[in-house]
Structure 1
Amino acid sequence: MTVSSPRDISPEQVVREEDLVARVQASFDSCQDPRLKELMQTLVKHLHAFLREVRLTEEEWSRAIEFLTAAGHITDDKRQEFILLSDTLGASMQTIAINNEAYGDATEATVFGPFFIEGSPRIEQGGDMSFGAAGEPCWVEGSVTDIDGNPVPGAKIEVWAADEDGLYDVQYGDGRVSARAHLFTDADGTYRFWGVTPTPYAIPYDGPVGKMLEATGRSPMRASHLHFMVEAAGHRTLVTHIFVRGDELLDSDSVFGVKESLIKDFDRRSAGTPTPDGRVVDGTWTMVRFDIVLAPADA
């Protein structure tokens, strides 16, 4: 691999550096797992290529170690700083793109995010996943079908969102469970529930990832969105969001999660407008439709 440099490097130095790369790669030759061997040797190749190309200084190396150490220290069972780092470097979206290849009209995937929690409460069709979370009510409806348009009954749909203050329940630290739930599609593949209208919010920026964004002149803001994870036997699990059309942050989402196909119309209805299920809403509310198409499991 050719390594560029802002200054000339002597042939002797090039040989010394390339010899080290070869020795480190060779150290994994006895690895019995072929995939692990490939991963480690390729990682070494590209990592050393980066180090050599930018001519990393020992001070920069030390600061990088301190950054990663800080990311580890701030990570706990409710906050994953390394996911934030992966998201903000585009690594999460790239991995998702690689592992969710385009397949017909299957709904596109996007980032998982750091705030999914196992064991969300179950709601029935038409139930309210907000559980008291602050925000404008939003009626969400749609269908889940396979690639041929056949309904997928009994698909599990996990949904979670931030409240109107841009916070997820786990960020409050008081044990509340709100703005997250799961439900199952009906026999005809349809689903419907009440949630909260998405609003923009900042990813946690009080840690090392936030300092990195500040130092590089980047914003921590995410475009307004609602999370979905859809699971059904025989189909590829889908992790995705839907985004609010007209949001000014669609082109600058801090984790590169926006895709045109996932931008939806959240139609705002005035106070007093009848709701689809007869619920009485004091103020305004929104309504959005999201039809989901699942790729087969072997796609």
Structure 2
Amino acid sequence: MQNINEDTITQAVIASLARCDRPRLRTIMTSLVQHLHAFARDVALTEDEWAQAIAFLTEVGHITDDKRQEFILLSDTLGLSMLVTTQNNVKPSNCTEATVFGPFFVEGSPVYQNGDDISNGAHGAPCYVSGQIRGVGGEPIPFAHLDVWQSDEDGFYDVQTPDASGETVMRARGRLTTDEHGRFHFRSILAEAYPIPHDGPVGRMLAATGRHPWRPAHLHFMIAAPGFETLVTHVFRNGDPYLDSDVVFGVRSTLIADWIEHAPGTAPDGTRFDAPWYSLDFDFVLNAGAA
């Protein structure tokens, strides 16, 4: 490896991987080296620019903790998350499309029954959500598990607003199970647009490149059932001004739905709303395969 220069260093690094006994890792690392080196050559990367890049990534790591995942935000805003999601979720045309997972999913969400209010005090206009889970042939999928989560009307998820003791009170998220006909219904709050956290390095990157930090209003779903591929997706609120400029590139036209406004009255399950309320009805179609 003596006398390596800018023309020979790429092949030297690739050659150093020859003893890697994990073929997939060797493939990934080889391609990563080739593309990184090609990038540096293409833009004639300077030492100062590379130092700034390292400082940026270091800061992304420093701000990341169990409440905030800045690396996911970085991947999302560069479109990498959606690219990986898309190329790994090719499904029959009548299946519900997948979209990005996002950084605010939490394991161990509260378990609710159909008809319960999952908002748990989160701020927002009341909303009644219903739908059915089906297979590609139209067959209902009974007892499928749904994880649901969303922000409040101020644009914050529960993990972003801990209580005075620093603990997270889980709000506007929960786990439900479909009935024997694959149907579900619950109460929550109206989905609203919100900005991703932009007070850190990813936010500065967006500002420097003339981009906004906003996501269109949406409701997250993760749906799992034996014999079917797990679906991670959103349902987006029709008419939102950010549908065509989602900062994480997650919108799909098939995932846009109407939230219908109602005067005070009774929901389909008999729930009484004394103030104006909204309803969303959306069905999901899962692809057959391993859960």
TM-score (norm 1): 0.93
* Partner residue in 2 for 1:4: none
RMSD of equivalent CA atoms:
1.2
1:289 aligns with 2:278: no
Report the Cα distance in structure 1 between the residues aligned to 2:265 and 2:6, rounded to whole angstroms: 70
Report the Cα distance in structure 1 between the residues aligned to 2:17 and 2:289, rounded to whole angstroms: 33
1:237-256 alignment, distance < 5 Å: 237-256=230-249
What whole-Å deviation, never above 9, does each CA across 1:242-267 have from its counterpart, x for those lacking one?
00111111001110010000000111
2:76 is matched by which residue type in structure 1? D
1:222 aligns with 2:215: yes
Unaligned runs of 5+ in 1: 1-14
What whole-Å deviation, never above 9, does each CA across 1:144-179 have from its counterpart, x for those lacking one?
111111111111100000000000001012221100
* Partner residue in 1 for 2:31: 42
Q: Does the 8 A contact of 1:104 with 1:147 survive in 2? A: no
Q: Secondary structure at the match of 2:129?
A: strand
What whole-Å deviation, never above 9, does each CA across 1:88-107 have from its counterpart, x for those lacking one?
00000000001101323110
Tell me by how many angstroms 1:297 deviates: 1.8
1:201 aligns with 2:190: no
1:52 aligns with 2:45: no
1:217 is matched by which residue type in structure 2? G
Report the Cα distance in structure 2 between the residues aligned to 1:294 and 1:42, rounded to whole angstroms: 33
1:32 aligns with 2:21: yes
* Partner residue in 2 for 1:74: 63
2:287 is matched by which residue type in structure 1? A
Tell me by how many angstroms 1:298 deviates: 5.5
1:39 is matched by which residue type in structure 2? I
Report the Cα distance in structure 2 between the residues aligned to 1:97 and 1:231, rounded to whole angstroms: 18
Report the Cα distance in structure 1 between the residues aligned to 2:135 and 2:273, rounded to whole angstroms: 34
1:257 aligns with 2:246: no
1:2-41 alignment, distance < 5 Å: 16-41=5-30
What whole-Å deviation, never above 9, does each CA across 1:97-146 have from its counterpart, x for those lacking one?
01101323110000101000000001101111101100011111111111
Tell me by how many angstroms 1:39 deviates: 0.3
1:274 aligns with 2:266: yes
Unaligned runs of 5+ in 2: none
What whole-Å deviation, never above 9, does each CA across 1:33-72 have from its counterpart, x for those lacking one?
1100100000001111101100111111000000000000
Match of 1:235 among 224, 228, 250: 228
Structure 1 segments, 4+ long, off by >3 Å, are none
1:208 is matched by which residue type in structure 2? P
Q: Does the 8 A contact of 1:147 with 1:294 survive in 2? A: yes
1:17 is matched by which residue type in structure 2? E
* Partner residue in 2 for 1:7: none
1:139 aligns with 2:132: no
Q: Secondary structure at the match of 1:63?
A: helix
Tell me by how many angstroms 1:26 deviates: 1.1
* Partner residue in 2 for 1:126: 115
Q: Does the 8 A contact of 2:265 with 2:274 survive in 1? A: no
* Partner residue in 1 for 2:185: 192
Report the Cα distance in structure 1 between the residues aligned to 2:122 and 2:40, rounded to whole angstroms: 47
Report the Cα distance in structure 2 between the residues aligned to 1:127 and 1:33, rounded to whole angstroms: 49
